[in-house]
């Protein structure tokens, strides 16, 4: 680890700090904690997948599987925490918006009882617009991946 990386290393972050970085709340908050983060570079976050999640009531009731789109959303929320923390915008009201999703691949179902490890890296940073590469893993096994672009912006005016 370089001196710059050590200086920019953060973590762990509990749910209160995650909620300070993200506007999402139940049932759409999909990050339970941050294990580690290197500002402007990468984040490792956790989603504890519980059978009590509301989407399991309909997807699929006899064999509950976390929808792929929500796995990608969890990766994007991890990226949002990374961006907000890197830019010191927690509690600022700024929002992180999806702009695009590319190369999403789903390799294994995610079922209740799993700890979903979310690993996201910044691949390009242009100030308010960043590109990310995300991987979702369970017990070291890749279950999903995607590249995506997000933008930091003020919330819409009423």
Which residues, at least 6 apart from 143, have a Cβ–Cβ distance to it below 8 Å? 71, 106, 107, 108, 109, 110, 116, 136, 137
Which residues, at least 6 apart from 153, have a Cβ–Cβ distance to it below 8 Å? 94, 95, 96, 97, 128
Residue in 129, 130, 110, 127 with CA at minimum distance from that of residue 118: 110
Active-site entry in 24, 44, 59, 119: 59
24 is catalytic: no
Task: Report residue 157: phi and psi, to 5°.
Answer: -80, 145
Catalytic residue numbers read 59
């Amino acid at each position: 680890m370089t001196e710059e990386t050590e200086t920019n290393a953060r973590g762990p972050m509990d749910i209160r700090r995650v909620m300070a970085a993200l506007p999402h709340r139940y049932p759409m908050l999909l990050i339970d904690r941050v294990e580690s983060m290197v500002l402007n570079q990468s984040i490792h976050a956790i989603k504890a997948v519980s059978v009590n999640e509301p989407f399991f009531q309909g997807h699929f009731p006899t064999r509950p599987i976390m929808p792929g789109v929500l796995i990608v959303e969890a990766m994007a929320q991890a990226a949002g925490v990374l961006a907000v923390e890197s830019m010191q915008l927690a509690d600022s009201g700024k929002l992180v918006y999806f702009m695009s999703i590319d190369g999403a691949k789903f390799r294994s179902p995610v079922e209740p009882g799993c700890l979903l490890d979310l690993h996201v890296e910044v691949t390009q940073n242009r100030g308010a617009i960043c590109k990310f590469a995300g991987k979702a893993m369970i017990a070291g096994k890749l279950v999903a991946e995607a590249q995506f672009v997000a933008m930091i912006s003020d919330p819409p005016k009423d």
